[in-house]
Structures are given as structure tokens and as C-alpha cells.
């Protein structure tokens, strides 16, 4: 397994994680890029980059509305998630100067932010803030997702939207099971459940 292939798998998996989190369903991921047959059979799916196809919801209008701005922020996040995950996996600082080297992803993110800010300085600052806070967004508590998608990509070279959704469902089920575990209260040593003192001195006898 080449290091480049593994880095690419993390890159695509992170695009898929962010897209699914924001409600943009994934059509297909491919380490080798998409063939002519893939492109012809994609339906309404769009290429985020050379290895990621997603279904983009109809963008709310008008431009400048809260809904439109939120949609553009999500597109920006999806575009930046890939390069940031790859950089972090390579233990390289997720700084703007490094993210800009991923030309396709950077262009997608810049285009989305252009609908939010009219000047380059504000756009650059927004992208910079996101990259600096990306670790928590991409990795915190979501190992179950990457532990499924990355190996599948490395083994098969491609991952379907159904595979991505299955990994997402597994992650959510794991989180739900963890959060629903009851907290066991410790009983004072020497007291049994039917001991009157277990009721506390403020409660009258039944």
C-alpha cells in the first residue's frame, strides 16, 4: 500500500463525512478518478473533485438570505474537509498556505465563500478560520466512520454512496448507544434497597 494512496483515501473519506453531515448525499468515491462510464451514469450528482461525487441540494434563494449563506458555508466546509484531513493525517499543519496547494478543493471553497463576502480579505479570513478549527469538525469522535470508509477505499478503490451511508448509520448508532447508557448510582455500603434509610430521612414512612 502506497502512502500516497492512503493519504488520498483519508482525503476522500473526509469529503464524504462532511457531505453526509451536512445533508449532501454521496454518490461515489474513487481513488483512481472517475471513468467516462462513471460520469455518464451519475444522474444529478456533481463532481466536487476528481474523486468525489455528491448530490447537491437545490440552493435556496435569494442570494444573501440566511438559507443561501448557510448552504454556501456547508459547501465551503465540504470542499475544505478533504485537504484538511489529508494534511492532518500527514501531520502537516492545516494552514491556508498548505490547503491552497489542493487547487480544485480550494477553488470550490473560494467560489462558495464569494457568495458570502464580496472582498478577498474577508473571504480569506473566513477560510483561514475554518482550517484552523478543522480538527474538531473532521476527526473528533468519528473514528467509526473513517475505520469503515478508508479501508474499503484502499481495498476496492471505490466506495458507493450506500457504503458511505452505512458507515454514517453505524457511527450514529454507536453514538446513540453510548449516550443512552444509564448512569449507575452507587448505593451506600451496607444499605440494601429495602432498608428504610435508603429512602432518606426527609421522606415519611409509607
CA-CA distance, 179 to 197, in Å (whole number)?
A: 31
pLDDT tens profile 87-109 = 988 999 888 999 999 999 999 99
> What is the pTM for the complete model shown?
0.83
Has residue 120 got a pLDDT over 70? yes
Give the residue among 172, 158, 96 at the shortest CA–CA distance from 130.
96
The crossing angle, in degrees rounded to 10, of helices 66-89 and 3-21 is 160
pLDDT tens profile 162-196 = 999 999 999 999 888 877 764 444 444 443 434 33
Contacts of 134 (CB under 8 A, 6+ apart): 80, 81, 84, 85, 88, 94
Strand order in the sheet with 26-30: 46-49, 52-54, 26-30, 158-160
Q: Which domains occur in the chain, in start order?
A: 3-179 (1.20.58.760)
pLDDT of residue 105: 96
Distance between terminal CA atoms of the chain? 71
pLDDT of residue 156: 96
pLDDT tens profile 22-42 = 999 999 999 999 999 999 999
pLDDT tens profile 48-76 = 999 999 998 888 889 889 999 999 999 99
Amino acid at each position: 500500500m502506497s502512502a500516497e494512496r492512503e493519504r488520498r483515501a483519508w482525503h476522500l473519506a473526509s469529503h464524504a463525512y462532511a457531505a453526509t453531515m451536512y445533508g449532501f448525499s454521496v454518490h461515489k468515491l474513487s481513488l483512481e478518478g472517475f471513468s467516462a462510464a462513471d460520469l455518464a451514469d451519475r444522474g444529478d450528482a456533481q463532481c466536487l473533485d476528481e474523486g468525489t461525487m455528491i448530490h447537491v441540494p437545490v440552493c435556496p434563494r435569494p442570494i444573501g438570505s440566511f438559507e443561501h449563506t448557510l448552504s454556501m458555508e456547508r459547501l465551503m466546509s465540504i470542499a475544505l474537509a478533504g485537504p484538511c484531513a489529508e494534511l492532518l493525517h500527514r501531520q502537516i499543519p492545516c494552514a491556508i498556505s498548505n490547503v491552497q496547494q489542493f487547487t480544485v478543493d480550494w477553488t470550490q471553497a473560494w467560489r462558495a465563500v464569494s457568495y458570502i463576502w464580496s472582498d478577498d480579505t474577508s473571504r480569506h479570513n473566513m477560510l483561514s478560520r475554518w482550517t484552523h478549527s478543522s480538527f474538531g469538525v473532521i476527526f473528533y469522535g468519528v473514528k467509526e466512520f473513517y475505520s469503515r470508509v478508508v479501508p474499503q477505499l484502499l481495498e476496492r478503490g471505490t466506495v458507493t454512496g450506500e457504503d458511505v451511508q452505512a458507515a454514517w448509520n453505524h457511527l450514529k448508532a454507536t453514538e446513540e448507544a453510548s449516550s443512552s447508557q444509564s448512569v449507575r448510582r452507587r448505593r451506600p455500603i451496607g444499605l440494601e434497597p429495602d432498608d428504610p434509610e435508603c429512602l432518606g430521612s426527609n421522606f415519611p414512612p409509607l
